[in-house]
Amino acid sequence: MRSPSLYSQDDPISAAMKPPATESDAERAARLEAEAEAKRISEQIDEDLREERERMKKKKGDVKLLLLGQAESGKSTLQKQFQLMYKPSSLDQERASWTTVIYFNVVHSLKQILTTLEQWDDVLDDDIDMSPADAPSYSTSKARGNGFADQPSPSTSLMDSSNGPKGSPGGYSDGTGSTSHSASSRDAGAAQIANLRQKLAPLVAAESQLADRLSGGITVSGSGKGGVYVRSGWQARTIENALGKMKSRRPPATNEKKPRESQEAGIDPLVQEVGRLLELTEDDIHELWSHPTVKGMIAKRRLKLDEWSEFFLRHISRVASPDYVPTTDDILHARIQTMGVAEHIFDVNIHGKLVTWHLFDVGGARGQRHSWVPYFDDANAIIFVAPVSAFDQYLEEDPRVNRIDDSLQLFTQVCSNALLKSVHLVLFLNKTDLLRSKLDRGLKVRKYITSFGERSNDYETVVQYFRAHFLQVHRRNNENRRVLYTHFTSVVDTKATQRIIGNVRDSIFRGYLQSAALV
């Protein structure tokens, strides 16, 4: 018996799909409409699949670059340098939103200074050489296998106030009346600081409002003392939030004096008010920043400020000016913590060929590192940023862990990850300028890192010592014999950093784009 043809009248599928003989005109119209809709959907699916194939074909030539490293290592600053180099117009578009960040940085720094002063009763006792933050919490130093200590060793910490001839916290008398003179000076200094605290109170009170404007009320668990965290696209949302709050306000009464032109221009009234307070208190900020007690506490390391704090306080006259607009250098020094993963897309000219780079800037706090893994799959290259100036610092999430030690552990995880075995790897040993500054001030590496021993405390010895530890980690986890490209960097230095970015671009081009047959 002959099998029925697809086109034969006795085809069971055709018979099943054949409309019934009793079909009415209305039923026929509904059936034809449904068939037309099904055909339209099918054609749309085919078109979507075709476009997706085209996108995938084009994306094969894209470069996916991950910026990895602990919090405050300089990843976001490096991202800004990429932005400045390959998409400068976008930085100009964001410039206004950075005013909020910079004002927050200044206000937060002032609050930190005043809070620390209050903990010490606004006085600097010369006979106490060690702050609670410097004091070790264990009777013996706890060094890990790589020789990096969790805490400064008690044998090398600054002397306890109970030892030696220094006596009680009130000082000792040498028979010349110096004790009473010293007490009088301390009282006068404390009175000055109390007066400054009162004058700066309205400005410091704006910290929480600025933080809320930036974060939208977001808090991050598992990140130590917390702080202000922003998601990707925070620049536009900061301005939108400000405009939303402006619209929700009642219009001012006719007798109220409001700068209408600034509101019409979309300026955030909160930022405008903080700017006004900065202008009014500029002299008070100068006086606090240059006060002998503050300088003494910084020198004795009872008051530890981040580099961005010192940068903006040194430039407070410019930041507090009524027509202040953030410079590119200001934006590079501004500090805001990234939450999650932010993607930045650049078209990079590599030897006459435009290649799309997808740069992913990730949050580096311990509680956010789990979000990195999904981006490992098809990564082409990684820039790992390790701050070598952080040898005397500890994680906010775990004050027992030295930040250099944490960087080494994190670098070990990256080097040993199976998904990243063939990924082009670049190491930025960052913040070398701050490292040099600390060493020039006489800070001893061996106090914080036990394995440093009696090596010379000069810059070249220290940076090569750190580099050797990272190279050792790479050698132990380098089954595929890939090259580790290492650079000593200060990513706030635009000229030097962009030269290094050019070198990184070319090395990625040689290692990956050639293998993908794109050149």
pLDDT at residue number 228? 66
287 lies in some domain: yes
Q: What is the pLDDT of residue 159?
A: 27
Confirm whether 506 is domain-assigned: yes
pLDDT of residue 135: 39
Here the tokens at position 474 are 């790479």
The dihedrals phi and psi of 43, each to the nearest 5 degrees, come to -65, -35
User: What is the value of pTM for the model shown?
Assistant: 0.73
Q: Is 160 annotated as a binding residue?
A: no
Residues 379 and 499 placed together within one structural domain of the fold: yes
Based on the fold, state whether residues 124 and 74 are members of the same structural domain.
no
Residue 304, annotated as binding a ligand: no
pLDDT digits (tens, 9 = 90+) for 327-362: 999 999 998 877 778 889 999 887 778 889 999 988
The pLDDT of residue 367 is 67
Task: Tell whether 151 is in a known binding site.
Answer: no
Produce one character per residue of 22-54: b if its CB has 16 or more CB atoms within 10 Å, e if not.
Answer: eeeeeeeeeeeeeeeeeeeeeeeeeeeeeeeee
Question: Does 486 belong to an annotated binding site?
Answer: no
pLDDT score recorded for residue 20: 80
261 and 349 in one domain? Answer: no
Q: Report yes or no on 249 lying in a domain.
A: yes
> Is 146 marked as a binding-site residue?
no
pLDDT the model gives residue 446: 95
Ranges of the chain with pLDDT below 50: 6-7, 127-177, 221-226, 243, 246-250, 252-265, 517-519
177 with 312, same domain: the answer is: yes
Residue 478 lies in a domain: yes
432 is in an annotated binding site: yes
Choose the final residue of a domain: 332, 357, 372: 332
The answer on whether 431 is annotated among ligand-binding residues is: yes
Write the pLDDT tens digit of every residue in 96-108.
Answer: 889 999 999 999 9
Decide if 495 is inside a domain.
yes
- From 332, 364, 396, give the residue that closes a domain: 332
Q: What is the pLDDT of residue 5?
A: 52
Residues 378 and 286 in one domain: no
- Cβ atoms 122, 294 nearer than 8 A: no
Last residue of a domain, one of 297, 332, 367: 332
Domain assignment present for residue 212? The answer is: yes
**Residue 465, in any domain of the structure:** yes
d(CA 426, CA 4) in angstroms, rounded, equals: 66
Beta strands at 229-230 and 337-338: parallel, antiparallel or unpaired? parallel
- Predicted local confidence at residue 117, as pLDDT: 93
Residue 447 domain-assigned (yes or no): yes
Question: Contact at 8 Å (CB) between 381 and 371?
Answer: no
Q: What is the largest CA-CA distance in the chain?
A: 129
Same domain flag for 66 and 147: no
Question: Are 281 and 385 in a shared domain?
Answer: no
Do 186 and 85 lie in one domain? The reply is: no
Provide the CATH number for the domain around residue 344. Answer: 3.40.50.300
145 and 194 share one domain: yes
**Number of separate domains in the chain:** 2
For residues 379, 501, 59, 233, the Cα torsion angle rounded to the nearest 10 degrees is 90
Q: CA of 167: how far to CAs of 50, 134, 296, in Å?
A: 83, 20, 20
Question: Which segments within 161-304 are labelled E, that is strand?
Answer: 229-230
Domain range for 127 is 97-332
Ligand-binding annotation for 332, yes or no, is yes
Asked whether residue 116 falls in the same domain as residue 173, the answer is: yes
Task: Give the strand pairing for 353-362 and 341-350.
Answer: antiparallel
433 is annotated as contributing to ligand binding: yes
Do 384 and 455 belong together in one domain?
yes
Query: Is there a single domain that holds both residue 300 and residue 382?
Result: no
